Amino acid sequence: MSTINFAAREINCKIVYYGPGVAGKTTNLKWIYKQVPEGVKGEMVSLATEDERTLFFDFLPIDLGTVQGFKTRFHLYTVPGQVFYNASRKLILRGVDGIIFVADSAPNRLRANAESMRNLRENLQEYNLSLDEIPMVIQFNKRDLPDAMPMDMLQAVVDPTSQFQCFEGSAHIGGGVFETLRAVSKLVLERLAKSK
* Residue 58 scores a pLDDT above 90: no
| Predicted structure pTM score | 0.89
Average pLDDT, the chain: 86
Residue by residue, DSSP assigns the chain as --EEETTTTEEEEEEEEE-STTSSHHHHHHHHHHHS-GGGB---EEEE-SS-EEEEEEE--SSS-EETTEEEEEEEEE--SSGGGHHHHHHHHTT--EEEEEEE-SGGGHHHHHHHHHHHHHHHHTTT--TTTS-EEEEEE-TTSTTPPPHHHHHHHH-TT--SEEEE-BGGGTBTHHHHHHHHHHHHHHHHHHH-
Question: pLDDT category, 4, cuts 50, 70, 90?
Answer: confident
The residue range of the domain holding 71 is: 3-195
Res 64: pLDDT: 59
Q: What percent of the chain is modeled with pLDDT above 70?
A: 85
| Average pLDDT score over residue span 162-188 | 95
* Residue 63 scores a pLDDT above 60: no
* Residue 98 scores a pLDDT above 60: yes
- C-alpha span between 88 and 190 (Å, rounded): 28
Res 33: pLDDT: 86
- C-alpha span between 53 and 150 (Å, rounded): 30
CATH number at residue 69: 3.40.50.300
Predicted confidence (pLDDT) per residue in 110-161, tens digit: 999 999 999 999 999 999 999 999 999 999 999 999 999 999 999 999 999 9
Q: Which of 36-40, 102-106, 122-126 has the lowest mean pLDDT?
A: 36-40
Res 115: pLDDT: 95
* Residue 62 scores a pLDDT above 60: no
Q: Look at the chain and report how many structural domains it folds into.
A: 1
Give the bridge partners for 97, in sequence order. Answer: none
